[in-house]
Structure 1
Amino acid sequence: MDTPKSTKMEVIIPAYRMHTQSFVNVLEGISEEDALKRIENKTNHIVWMAGNFVNMRYGLGWVLGLQTEDPYNDLFFQGKALDESIQYPSLAELQKSFHEVSPKVYQKLLKATDEELDELFEIGMNVPFVKETKLNFAGMCLGREDYLCGQIGLMRRILNYPGMKYDMNENLTY
């Protein structure tokens, strides 16, 4: 494993890499047609969930100084509600974007210093026990990614796909 500058990243880095694997695995084999299905018009579709996941990666990168913008930011920023009148990007387009941004964000995570991670970053959650810092924002991004992978995993089963596998691709180094 790569060594981060900050020991504060020793929990974040492995979780980030596991989420990379999970994202790839949870989308494995899902058709573009099924990725747009909703359950009783109450759920988001998989494309929206995947797009929000990728948007979290761009957001984390931005907070850490990455000057790369999500091409689909207007569709997914801050969990913007699904709009059935909009044509969303395909899963393939989202996966491409994911693989473009994720290694860049990973490098930013590795290079982050204690001082940078301790910088205030106002999220606006107003939760008294959460100090709004860049480090805590990174943790919240990972929490959101967990949630989205779980939601996609549930949709896999509802749409009659096998459950997500936990195979590891050792060549996927971010």
Structure 2
Amino acid sequence: MKITPTSSRMYGFMVLYEMHTDFLLRALAGIDQKDAQKRLETKANHIAWITGSVIHSRYFLAKSFSISLPSVTDELFENNKGIMDDANYPPLVDLIKDWQEITPLLQEVLTTATDEKLEEKFVMPEMEITLFDMIGFSSYREANCIGQIALWRRLLGYPGMNYM
């Protein structure tokens, strides 16, 4: 699909957005729900938490564009909550459903964002950056999280992630 964002600054991010959209689904392909919350006797974030965190981030970013929808990640990830040992995270199928719901909506507003919109302030606790910078951070973080899930696949005995 040819991407033609309103702001030329967004071109690279939109290419990555489409890649990450597909790669997350590929990273999760075939993962059994019972394995999604395994931590292998470590304190590492498990697949369900990592996936929920990435999805919650897309919903959070969408709010900057006046898209406010409920997600199965709302309570478990609000205020950047870390992983909780006793929490039961949503099934991967529900997380994927939310991913597929928010993705085209956010893609549309990111593609049509003007330079003026991208320069709006994005305020977080103890930090203020531009919306453009937040989009950049989100893109970096999505790639990082997908890589973590790909590693978990191997640690849990699944075949490596298929990129094609």
Please give the alpha-carbon distance, in whole angstroms, between the structure 2 residues aligned to 1:100 and 1:57. 10
Aligned length: 163
2:72/2:95 contact within 8 Å kept: no
Secondary structure of 1:82's partner? coil
What runs of 5+ residues in structure 2 fail to find an aligned partner? Answer: none
Distance 1:71 1:160, change over 3 A: closer
TM-superposed deviation, 1:66: 1.4
The CA distance in 2 between the partners of 1:87 and 1:35, in whole Å, is 11
SS of match in other structure, 2:129: coil
**How far apart are residue 4 of structure 1 and its match?**
1.2
TM-score (norm 2): 0.93
Moved over 6 A (4+): none
In structure 2, which of residues 115, 132, 137 is the aligned counterpart of residue 135 of structure 1? 132
CA RMSD of superposed structures (Å)? 1.5
How much has 1:41 moved relative to structure 2?
Answer: 3.2
Q: CA deviation at 1:5?
A: 1.1
Deviation string, structure 1 residues 84-141 (Cα, Å, up to 9, x no partner): 2222110000000100111110011111111000111123465xxxx71000101111
Question: What residue is the counterpart of 2:160 in the other structure?
Answer: 163
Relative distance call for 1:140 and 1:78 in structure 2 (3 A) is farther
* Structure whose residues are more often helix by fraction: 2
**TM-score normalized by the length of structure 1:** 0.87
TM-fit CA distance, 1:78: 4.8
Partner Cα separation in structure 1 for residue 67 and residue 8 of structure 2: 21
Alignment of structure 1 residues 30-69 onto 2, 5 Å? 30-69=31-70
Contact 1:38 1:44 in 2 (8 A): yes
**Which whole-Å CA distance do the structure 1 matches of 2:76 and 2:108 have between them?**
26
Structure 1 residue ranges without an equivalent (≥5): 168-174
Whole-Å separation in 2 of the counterparts to 1:123 and 1:8: 23
- Give the drift of 1:69: 3.4
What residue in structure 2 maps to residue 171 of structure 1?
none
Pick the structure with more strand per residue.
2
CA contact 2:53–2:73 (8 Å) conserved in 1: no
